[in-house]
Amino acid sequence: MRGRKAPEELSVSHSISCTPVQWARMRELAERAGMRTSPYIVGRVLKREGFGAGEAGHALVLDGKQQRGMHDAALGAAAALSGLSGNACAYTGLRETVALLFEARLDEMAREGRRGEMEALLASVTGPERAAALVRRAVMRAGGGETAGAG
């Protein structure tokens, strides 16, 4: 008797639209790869987007509750650092809040060993040299030294 799959491993059916020629080509490519068509297509798309074939990857955005939690934490940290309390902290500015949220997200990725993913995301915005410096700082803040999350 086979064990049950974990909920995140269960497949869900979806449909796509394509021409018969496109479908035949995808089936042919999947067959050459020794795979069924659906896993082949999913794997190719995820790989193109920077995830390993079949790998779900990590969420790149926060839901509303997570955003509010990080925002409140950033405001609380700013209040503690500035000696202010309550609503007076709200005037510390959007830039400081965003910077704190940004650093918190990088620190989380560093603790999770996602250095390569951080560098790729940051390099597309800041360029490779600045990205490498930001990642090094995040790794150091996370207490990982230069070896944590390498890869």
**What DSSP assignment string belongs to 93-121?**
-HHHHHHHHHHHHHHHHHHTT-HHHHHHH
Above 60 in pLDDT, residue 54?
no
Same domain for 130 and 74, yes or no, is yes
Please state the rounded mean pLDDT for residues 49-54. 58
Domain for residue 131, yes or no? yes
**Of the ranges 49-53, 94-98, 104-108, 137-141, which one carries the lowest mean pLDDT score?**
49-53
Same domain for 31 and 68, yes or no, is no
pLDDT given at position 53: 45
Q: How many domains does the chain have?
A: 2
Same domain for 78 and 133, yes or no, is yes
For the stretch 67-82, pLDDT in tens is 788 888 887 777 776 6
What is the enclosing helix (H) or strand (E) of 147? none
pLDDT given at position 146: 46
For the stretch 7-19, pLDDT in tens is 777 788 888 898 9
Domain for residue 4, yes or no? no
70: tokens are 């990080």
Same domain for 70 and 137, yes or no, is yes
Entry pTM: 0.36
Same domain for 53 and 76, yes or no, is no
91: tokens are 């005037």
3-class DSSP assignment, residue 149: coil
Domain range enclosing 21: 15-57
Cα Rg, the chain, nearest whole Å: 21
**Which residues, other chains included, contact 133 with Cβ-Cβ below 8 Å and sequence gap of 6+?**
none
If you count them, how many residues does the chain have? 151
